[in-house]
Amino acid sequence: MDVQDIVNTVSQKAGIDQVTTEKVVGTIFSVLEHEAEGTSASSFFAKIPGADALAQKYDVMAAAPAGGGGFLSSLQGALGGVLGEKAGALINGLAALKASGLDMAQIQKAGETLVQQAEAAAGPDLTNQVLGSVPSLKSHLGLG
C-alpha cells in the first residue's frame, strides 16, 4: 500500500475531495515527520512509499505562503520560537488542517481513517509507536 492508496481511501471514507484529502494526509505526515523521533519514524515512512514525499510537499515548517500572515502567523511564529520546532510543527499543522476548510468532524474522520490505513501499511505497533511520540496530535485528531 502506498500513500496514494491511503489518500484514496481517506477521501472515500471521509467524503472529502482528493485535493483536500492529499493536503490533510500530507500535513499529518509532515507533523509526524517533524515531531516523531528516532528510528520508528523513519521505519514508518519507509513502509509507506510516497509518504515522505507527500509530507515534504505539505511541509508544516516551510515558509508561510505569500499573502498569508497576520496575527495568527505571528502568533504561530512566537509560539514556535518559545516552544521550539516540535510545538511549532504541531501548531502549524493544526492551523493548516483548520485552513483546509474542513470541520473538526471531517478532520477527525480523515485522521481516524489515515491511522487505520497506516496501521494496515506499516503495522499497528509501529504506527502506534510513531503516533505515541506525538500525543497532542492524537488528541487533536480525536484519537487520544
pLDDT tens digit string along 105-119?
999 999 999 999 999
- 52-76 per-position pLDDT tens digit: 999 999 999 985 544 444 555 555 4
Angle between helices 18-35 and 3-14 (to 10 degrees): 120
CATH topology of domain 3-140: Globin-like (1.10.490)
Report how far residue 35's alpha carbon sits from residue 12's, in angstroms, rounded to the nearest whole number.
Answer: 28
Report how far residue 34's alpha carbon sits from residue 16's, in angstroms, rounded to the nearest whole number.
Answer: 25
How is the chain split into domains, by residue range?
3-140
Model confidence, pTM: 0.83
